[in-house]
Structure 1
Amino acid sequence: MKYQVHEEGEFRYIDEGQGETLLLLHGLFGALSNWDGVIDGFSSRYRVIIPVLPIYELPPRKAGLEALLDFLEKFLVFKELSSFNLLGNSLGGHIGLLYTLKHPENVQRLILTGSSGLFENSMGGSFPKRGSYSYIAERVAYTFYDPKVATKELIDEVFETTSSIAKCMSIVGIAKSAQRHNLAKELYRIDVPTLLVWGLNDTITPPYVGHEFKRLIKNSELHFIDKCCHAPMMEHPGKFNVILEQFLAKNALLEPAPIH
């Protein structure tokens, strides 16, 4: 992690750059470092904010999307943010969708990549097994088209997380909550410009899920990246950034007319 992580009260977050805000939300096994490519590509012209979602800190009985949405709302009040571009990967996309449905006036543009909310294979089809490093390594690699992207550092991070019984219970609770919160019947209410970026080889939210989001969100566009699985911004940061850049430019916010 090459960026400063701020800690204030219950919040840990990255806040880099100045300008129009990009709010980034990581997934279930995600980390702030997942977004290094986006920070590198956009923090010279945008303000990039990434909160650490308390996925592993939630009490197991409260572990679910409602608690994560509540946390996000509190964080945005704390940061006094009421107008931003919302970008989410995997579970982060799901939370972003719930937030957009609840607070459409705050979201300027929505960007989803490998988002849950319609269908997902949890942890590649199974929940984490405690104590098996090889199993965790295999499951983390399953997230990527090129297994070499699953570095030892990343595998170690996930292994440390899943070695805790309480954290495993939270993970299972959140994953089940995500599967219960199918948004197919609500997505028609989203009308902000929406960008969908999918890995053509995604095994967790397969390509047809991207097509279904495109069908259900009326003001949306869908892009696929080849030789890419569930985290395009990590596997192909250059291609991902080009698509995002073009989308932001095409849907540029209108400047208010000068007052005479």
Structure 2
Amino acid sequence: MEEQIIKEGKFKYIEMGEGKPIIILHGLMGGLSNFHGVMTHFPKKGYKVLIPELPIYDMPLLKTNVKSFAKFLEQFIEFKGLKDVILLGNSLGGHIGLLHTKLYPKNVKALVITGSSGLYESAMGDGYPKRGDYEFIKKKAQDVFYDPEVATKEIVDEVFATVNNRIKLVKTLAIAKSAIRHNMSKDLPNMHTPVCIIWGKNDNVTPPNVANEFHALLPDSELYWIEKCGHAPMMEHPKEFNTLLDSWLSKRNY
């Protein structure tokens, strides 16, 4: 990662650019580098892009849940003195963004979700395999993308290391269960924050019908599709992702 990780108090984050704040929320197995395309594009457009490192493996087990991360995000926003933030979340990050928006609607000017959990029970994966099975993990990582080549050895190695670390594995499963418990289908119709939904047409983790359901339940949402794309559009098709998000932000004058 070329960008400097800033450490202040209990927060570790990347910050680039000046202007309106976009806070990026990474997924359970997703590192900060997954959003490299967004990070390099939006600071040139008059946005301050911030990516806090979510304390996924640092919380006590009882607090390893979606709500704790939504509160952690609130603390980060307060710590940085930000107002009218645009939240952008992938997978678990989208779920954290949705719950944060429900709990602290005054903070959030707009929300962008892609491959988000929050509705679909299998969104966090269907359990984890026997530790030590590298080929199984590799196949799992490749299935996240339309093009399996996007799952580089570095990505596979990182996932493999996580599931072979007993404490991290226990916390990963705790978050997965928490995400299932925090189903937001009843909350979404009451959330009037503008939401941009960008989804991969070939997402196997959160299939296209999940995006359609988010769109149907969220009162002020727009849905955009990316063809030949899996669960992480901002990684697999960064230029197209940025173009769609750019035009949505411009249309809304954000």
- TM-score normalised by the chain length of structure 1: 0.94
Larger deviation, residues 65-74 vs 8-17: 65-74
Larger deviation, residues 3-12 vs 33-42: 3-12
Query: What secondary structure is seen at the aligned counterpart in 2 of 1:27?
Result: coil
- Match in the other structure for 1:257: none
Post-superposition offset of 1:120: 4.3
CA contact (8 A) 1:120 1:204 kept: no
CA-atom RMSD, angstroms? 1.2
Provide closer, same or farther for how the CA distance between residues 183 and 134 of structure 1 changes in structure 2, counting only shifts above 3 A.
same
Query: What secondary structure is seen at the aligned counterpart in 1 of 2:111?
Result: strand
- Match in the other structure for 1:86: 87
CA distance in structure 1 between the partners assigned to 2:61 and 2:104 by the alignment: 27
CA distance in structure 2 between the partners assigned to 1:128 and 1:21 by the alignment: 39
- Match in the other structure for 1:235: 236
Provide closer, same or farther for how the CA distance between residues 211 and 79 of structure 1 changes in structure 2, counting only shifts above 3 A.
same
- Match in the other structure for 1:16: 16
1:217 aligns with 2:218: yes
- Match in the other structure for 2:165: 164
Post-superposition offset of 1:122: 4.5
State the AA in 1 paired with 2:191: I
CA contact (8 A) 1:124 1:143 kept: no
Larger deviation, residues 67-76 vs 34-43: 67-76
State the AA in 2 paired with 1:38: V
CA distance in structure 2 between the partners assigned to 1:103 and 1:16 by the alignment: 24
State the AA in 2 paired with 1:22: I
Post-superposition offset of 1:109: 1.0
CA contact (8 A) 1:114 1:202 kept: yes
- Match in the other structure for 1:40: 40
State the AA in 1 paired with 2:135: S
CA distance in structure 2 between the partners assigned to 1:28 and 1:111 by the alignment: 17
Larger deviation, residues 69-78 vs 198-207: 69-78
CA distance in structure 1 between the partners assigned to 2:81 and 2:248 by the alignment: 26
1:109 aligns with 2:110: yes
State the AA in 1 paired with 2:213: E
- Match in the other structure for 2:128: 127
Aligned pairs (5 A) from 1:201-212: 201-212=202-213
Query: What secondary structure is seen at the aligned counterpart in 1 of 2:50?
Result: strand
State the AA in 1 paired with 2:58: E
- TM-score normalised by the chain length of structure 2: 0.96
Query: What secondary structure is seen at the aligned counterpart in 2 of 1:140?
Result: helix
**CA displacement, residues 63-115 of structure 1 (integer Å, 9 cap, x when unaligned):** 11122122112211111123211111000000000111111111111100011
CA contact (8 A) 1:199 1:231 kept: yes
**CA displacement, residues 136-187 of structure 1 (integer Å, 9 cap, x when unaligned):** 2111111111010000111111222222101000000000000111100110
Query: What secondary structure is seen at the aligned counterpart in 1 of 2:112?
Result: strand
CA distance in structure 2 between the partners assigned to 1:20 and 1:128 by the alignment: 42
State the AA in 2 paired with 1:29: M
Aligned pairs (5 A) from 1:183-202: 183-202=184-203
**CA displacement, residues 38-87 of structure 1 (integer Å, 9 cap, x when unaligned):** 01111122100000111122222321112212211221111112321111
Query: What secondary structure is seen at the aligned counterpart in 1 of 2:49?
Result: strand
- Match in the other structure for 2:139: 138
Query: What secondary structure is seen at the aligned counterpart in 2 of 1:121?
Result: helix
- Paired residues in the alignment total 253
- Match in the other structure for 1:247: 248
CA distance in structure 1 between the partners assigned to 2:47 and 2:228 by the alignment: 29
- Match in the other structure for 1:174: 175
Post-superposition offset of 1:128: 4.7
Percent of aligned pairs sharing the same letter: 50
| Gaps in structure 2 of 5+ consecutive residues | none
CA contact (8 A) 1:57 1:167 kept: no
